[in-house]
A and B are shown apart, each in its own frame.
Chain A
């Protein structure tokens, strides 16, 4: 596999760092400025969720290919308390932290693929991908 970035998340500075690195990688792989921004914003949301709920974790970003499409896969993983009700966590406006409750549902809307695995006491792993649009 080509270069994979592993970014530790343990403070708000790390959130900014992770989304900047994600944008750089997206730019290097030919994503449009719009898609770079979308990817960076989604990374910001999942990285903040790590900080809010688990206090520390990791964001991994790597280029990927799927059925001839090139894209970027982002994995946000923590070993925090986990999520009891995943459906609820993906609802707009639901938050246990006093935030806007748009982090996970928003990241899901921003990206093309989105998968959330979590269980109480088991931590949380978000895997999401954005694929380059091919025109003609």
Chain B
């Protein structure tokens, strides 16, 4: 299932709609990194509200997206991690250390706006 990526101003918003296979996650990573360049995006938001499981592969892919986007001059923020998903991630030993997270899309956008003002 391909994840729709919307362009909003200087930002890209990837809105995950349903459970993703490993191949879907890898495809999302490639698509986002390509589009950061194509649209000269300053920020990327990955909305994971619809994910009811974040296992080690999903977390590794999100980390890769954030690191690759940063190398291309774009900040990433992960939004919408559900409370029970956060609980399971911590038990599993997964962290998103060094990667911005926000409660929801609105907070994510506010975070990127603040970052953009810092850089201006």
Contact = CB atoms under 8 A, between A and B. Distances in A.
Given A19-B53, A37-B53, A110-B88, A105 B19 contact: no
24 contacts: A12-B21, A12-B23, A15-B22, A16-B21, A33-B84, A37-B52, A37-B82, A37-B84, A38-B87, A38-B91, A40-B52, A40-B53, A45-B55, A48-B55, A100-B59, A100-B60, A100-B94, A102-B94, A106-B56, A106-B92, A106-B94, A107-B92, A109-B91, A110-B88
A107 to B, nearest CB: 8
A16 B55 CA distance: 11
Contact of A44 (B23, B55, B93): B55
Contacts of A12: 21-23
A14 to B, nearest CB: 9
Kindly list the 7 A-B residue pairs having the minimum CB-CB distance in the complex, ordered from nearest: A106-B92, A44-B55, A12-B22, A37-B84, A12-B21, A41-B88, A34-B84
A92 interface: yes
A48 B22 contact: yes
B92 A41 contact: yes
B102 interface: no
Nearest to B21: A12
Interface of B is mostly: helix
A28 to B, nearest CB: 16
Contacts of A16: 19-21
A109 B92 contact: yes
Contacts of B59: 100
Interface in A4-45: 12-13, 15-16, 19-20, 23, 33-34, 36-38, 40-41, 44-45
Interface of A: 12-13, 15-16, 19-20, 23, 33-34, 36-38, 40-41, 44-45, 48, 92, 99-100, 102-103, 105-107, 109-110
A20 B85 CA distance: 14
Contacts of B52: 23, 37, 40
Nearest to A14: B21
A29 to B, nearest CB: 17
A37 B55 CA distance: 10
Contact of B93 (A19, A23, A99, A105): A105
Interface string B76-101: 00000010110111011110000000
